[in-house]
Amino acid sequence: MATSLGWADTEDKRDIVHIVVQALVEGKLVVLPTETAYHVVASGLNEAALEQLQKLREQGKVASPALLLRSSGESMDYCPGMSRVARRAVGRGWPGPLVLELPIHAAGDEEGTQAVVSEEPAADSSLTLANRLPGVAKSLVLKEGFLAQRVVPHAVVTEAMRLTPGPLIAAACVDEQAGPLSRPEEVARSLGSNVSILVDDGQTHFGGFATRIRVVGNECALITPGVIEADKRERLFHLVILLVCTGNTCRSPMAEVMLKSLLAESFPQHCGPGANKVHVASAGLSAFPGGPASAEAQSVMERRQLSLRNHQSRALTEQALRYADLVLTMTRSHRAAIVDQLPSIASKVHVLSGSLDDVSDPFGGTETIYDACANQIEGYLRNWVHRMDDSWFPVWRSE
């Protein structure tokens, strides 16, 4: 039987982590808790351990394995040609109960889309970390050129990965009916002496499988439904555009409703009635939450058959900025304020004009001034929409 180590009962959890790391380095299999099910984990550099994991897979003791990543950013080292749709799920879904199957070859986006938000340059897949994995590791996690990968948030996994040389490969423990094992006593009975250590952290949070999705370009295929609900998993891949001004009562609300209209006109299959693949929102750097759009902005939009009657101003948040794929600011100073606070997102924050021109604040002006402002904004928005294509929007395929 495996040695059981109680995670919750141990005061200094570093002791458990060191025992786990030592076992992995020695080529032993260990069982670690995740938020979904318990997983058998092996060092990705130890072929003997990986062969043991392969045998457990053949015996129906574990599900399909995945490569464990230390962070979402590490995925680019294995799949450098990742499409923008895949990068959304990587950024929004990890760490979490999500396995992504991504091509190690650059499947990329259609030519000509890099002008809006730059993609990573195509890379020679022979130079990626995926091709440096041992042969047994590749047979476990690399199928048809797609690498299964995941970022697990449980502390024992993250700390073990921090101290273990090389990658780790993990597979969910399953019962005789191929269902997930989420209780340590079930795992102990199922695996017995096939593993050396079992870290016991009680019942797992979700008690199910991670959701598994294959992504190539903008096409998504659901492999395993898992614990992420349908609407939530689809939102992982939505195009999100955030428009920013100062008070979120004039410029950015007008830009929001006009952009929604332009996208529906240009991409009806993705953004038209019944489609749900894009989310356009607006916010203000100094907005007071809950305020209406200005009367002039409402009037100008009504003449365009657009409505701001239900608009409520929103303050800009870090969460919204990080979640968005594209952030368009009305002025250079708006962009500078955002980038100063969050320099890591600078590549996706742009001035709406695409140049040094700002959209002046019409607040306090006449409807004529608001109308001129709206015309200016619409012209800039049309330029952005013109530079987009179908690769910006997820398409779900049956697998």
Q: How many residues are given for the chain?
A: 399
Pair of tokens at residue 110: 């259609």
Pairing of strands 326-329, 278-284: unpaired
Cα–Cα distances (Å) from 151 to 74, 91, 219, in that order, read 10, 11, 22
What is the sign, positive or negative, of the torsion defined by CA atoms of 135, 74, 30, 172?
A: negative
Q: Which residues are the active-site residues?
A: 245, 251, 361
Tell me which DSSP letter residue 392 carries.
Answer: G
Instruction: Tell me if 29 sits within 8 A of 41, measured CB to CB.
Output: yes
Q: Can you tell me the distance from the alpha carbon of 125 to that of 80, in angstroms, rounded to the nearest whole number? A: 8
| Helix/strand/coil for 200 | strand
User: Which of 158, 327, 346 lies closest to 259 in space, CA to CA?
Assistant: 327
- Pick left, alpha or beta for residue 338 (phi over 0 → left; psi -120 to 50 → alpha; otherwise beta): alpha
Residue listed under structure tokens 């021109």: 357
Q: Backbone phi, then psi, for 313, in 5-degree steps?
A: -65, 145
What is the sign, positive or negative, of the torsion defined by CA atoms of 245, 343, 101, 82?
A: positive
| Beta strand segments in the chain, E | 3-6, 30-32, 39-43, 66-68, 98-103, 142-143, 146-150, 168-172, 197-200, 211-216, 219-224, 239-245, 278-284, 326-329, 349-351, 395-397
Pair of tokens at residue 238: 């939505």
- Pick left, alpha or beta for residue 331 (phi over 0 → left; psi -120 to 50 → alpha; otherwise beta): beta
Residue listed under structure tokens 């053949």: 58
Pair of tokens at residue 126: 């022979």
